[in-house]
Structure 1
Amino acid sequence: MILVTGGLGFIGSHTVRALLDLGEGCVLVQRRTAEVPASLAGAQVVVEQADIADLTALLDVGARHKITGIVHLAGSMPWPPSPKQPVEAARKAVGSLFNIFEAARAWGVSRVGVASSIGVYAGLTSEGPLREDMPLPMTSSHPIPAFKKIGELLSDHLAGATGIDVVSYRISGIWGPGDPHGALLFAAPALVHAAVRGTEPDLSLLLAPAYAEDSIDLCYVYDCGRAIALLQLADQLNHRTYNVASGRATSNAEVIAAIKKVVPDTRIVLPARGTGQQSYLDITRIQQDTGYQPAYDIERATADYIAWLRAGNER
């Protein structure tokens, strides 16, 4: 069975669904008590209560289940960070990663996947594809990409030291059913929600104003979950780092155009004062090594998301 940390979260739940569709059972580790969700009732899924920061509790999970692989999607850094205990928070984040590798060694796991982020590319100014072999800036303006870089470096070191097959997922801008963030990092989810509700989009959480030309590599969460599952189950991987993305830049203007095909009377408008810079994650590696192809372009993704919200789902 594949152990998935953060398996009841946004990306985690869709990854679990994809693993199940590919014939794998899953053990979901949650810090708080949780039951198997109704959407997975009857599936080969077990939810175990354990804090991955507690090595003994984590190892006990492997005593109850035959764990053959690990997909580590739980957050590496508490957010928002505690201003009173920054050292302890950092120690816990890094210690949890060490515990994952200790468990992998104890259980004889052959492959560990670790979530990274599109944020590691922040600071690169080139347009066009962002490739996994590009040199990354050593600094980060935000704790999350900082700890993702730390996680990648530690994972690469431990892969060499332990012989465990390790893969880091550089995950792009993920959106779709179950998105808990709204317009936290990019505008698209809020634009869709506003169209369904017939309201103005709430973009107050964005770090900067949203413009029509602003773009990001938007990857629908179904594609993201399937990509991670394919990386976990591939017979052989030729790299330790893979972009998990759509492989194209999608602008807010394109999102609005796709929304208007489903909700023609929406009045969502964004000002046209953005830079128009088009950068996106190159997905050649994952395509070559797993056969992954995104199934949801912006129009299909938008229509599906709107239908899911109109069916009465909250997020």
Structure 2
Amino acid sequence: MTAPHRPFTILVTGGAGYIGSHAVLALLDAGWRVAVLDNLVTGFRWAVAEDAVFYEGDIADAALVARIVAEQNIGAIMHFAGSVVVPESVANPLKYYDNNSARSRALIDTAVHAGVRHFIFSSTAATYGIPDAIPVREDAPQRPINPYGMSKLMTEAMLADVAAAHDFNYAALRYFNVAGADPAARSGQSTAGATHLIKVAVEAALGRRSHVDIFGSDFDTADGTGVRDYIHVSDLAAAHLLALDALIADPAASHQLNAGYGRGFSVLDVLDAVDRATNVRIERRMGERRAGDPDALIADNGAIRAALGWQPRYNDLDTIVAHALAWERALAERQLTA
């Protein structure tokens, strides 16, 4: 079988991080040439696939980004670099407006001046705030309730304005709750002290945490705990490749699309799934609900399916948990041998 022709290289910012490293794997698997730019503040050099060209540095370093574009023949950017912890954004908002908004502005500016025509942005369902209706459609009001969501929405606005003014198109994928790991255990969520529920739960099941805190048992849901739409990270990476194809196929069109499965699981559903996978009962500790947590947050994913032909492969909670567990065990082995 002849490999597909790939006319240029993809620059992946934040490619040493959780989602970015999976996008790098998906791009390489599909025959793309890949360059990664990461400052390694939260990412890991070992998480970058060997076949990708790696640059250590900051997305706001215009000279460096321009050099990468020229050296590597960059035709599109997948932008994952940024800060992602909601409570931290409340405590330190200026960090988020710097990392997620100001530095994204600098990156977009360099891209436009260097002639990069396609841009894929990792946005978030946090731009919706507390939605009026579930499932959430892309035309729902975007009313963020924390600096994290607002910092991402500001970048969406910049991209829309730039696309209207320049020979440039973009896709903003609004992630719901990303979870799981590469099915071949090549990458996964590796950050110490992570706040993602499935990551926290598998750490607890393997004895790396003493318990799991549940924030609220009085939500308007079937079991009283919050319901979220969990999307497998490899399905999300596949959506980025389809978005890239769509941008190349129609340079006049841009897209704002939800990335979720269209169904939700409660906190207790997730913990029960981890219990099933490990035959270990995780200790649950009930606490107060956090300000601003919606009862449920579930994507309407009709648009991404229609626009990109996206067909998830791993939209099963037990599969997501199994891959997260396999990665957690591989990560523990890596740390033992490091």
Same fold (TM over 0.5): yes
1:109 is aligned to 2:124: no
Within 5 Å, which residues of 2 pair with 1:200-239?
200-203=210-213, 208-209=215-216, 213-234=225-246, 235-236=249-250, 239=254
108 and 124 in structure 1: CA distance in 2 versus 1, 3 angstrom threshold? same
Normalised TM-score (structure 2): 0.78
Aligned counterpart in structure 1 of residue 61 of structure 2, from 40, 54, 66: 54
Partner of 2:303: 285
Partner of 1:26: 34
Normalised TM-score (structure 1): 0.83
Paired letter, 2:15: G
Quote the RMSD (CA, aligned, Å). 3.4
> How many Å separate the matches in 2 of 1:47 and 1:224?
22
Unaligned runs of 5+ in 2: 1-8, 181-187
Secondary structure of the residue that 2:54 maps to in structure 1?
Answer: strand
Partner of 2:261: 246
Aligned counterpart in structure 2 of residue 160 of structure 1, from 161, 164, 185: 164
Paired letter, 1:190: V
Aligned-pair CA distance for 1:233: 2.5
Asked whether the equivalents of residues 227 and 295 of structure 2 are also in contact (C-alpha less than 8 Å), the reply is: yes
Asked whether the equivalents of residues 117 and 168 of structure 2 are also in contact (C-alpha less than 8 Å), the reply is: yes
Aligned length: 305
Partner of 1:307: 326
1:188 is aligned to 2:198: yes
> How many Å separate the matches in 2 of 1:245 and 1:62?
31
> How many Å separate the matches in 1 of 2:212 and 2:64?
41
Q: Identity of paired residues, percent?
A: 25
> How many Å separate the matches in 1 of 2:92 and 2:308?
44
Paired letter, 1:103: T
Unaligned runs of 5+ in 1: none
Per-residue Cα deviation, 1:144-191 (whole angstroms, up to 9, x for no partner): 10111111111111110113011111111112322526562x533212
> How many Å separate the matches in 1 of 2:281 and 2:92?
45
Asked whether the equivalents of residues 10 and 32 of structure 2 are also in contact (C-alpha less than 8 Å), the reply is: yes
Partner of 2:46: 37
Aligned-pair CA distance for 1:7: 0.7
29 and 250 in structure 1: CA distance in 2 versus 1, 3 angstrom threshold? same
Asked whether the equivalents of residues 198 and 266 of structure 1 are also in contact (C-alpha less than 8 Å), the reply is: no
Aligned-pair CA distance for 1:280: 0.4
> How many Å separate the matches in 2 of 1:312 and 1:262?
18
> How many Å separate the matches in 1 of 2:313 and 2:12?
23
Per-residue Cα deviation, 1:262-303 (whole angstroms, up to 9, x for no partner): 222424446599899443011112111222122221011111
> How many Å separate the matches in 2 of 1:76 and 1:262?
31
209 and 182 in structure 1: CA distance in 2 versus 1, 3 angstrom threshold? farther
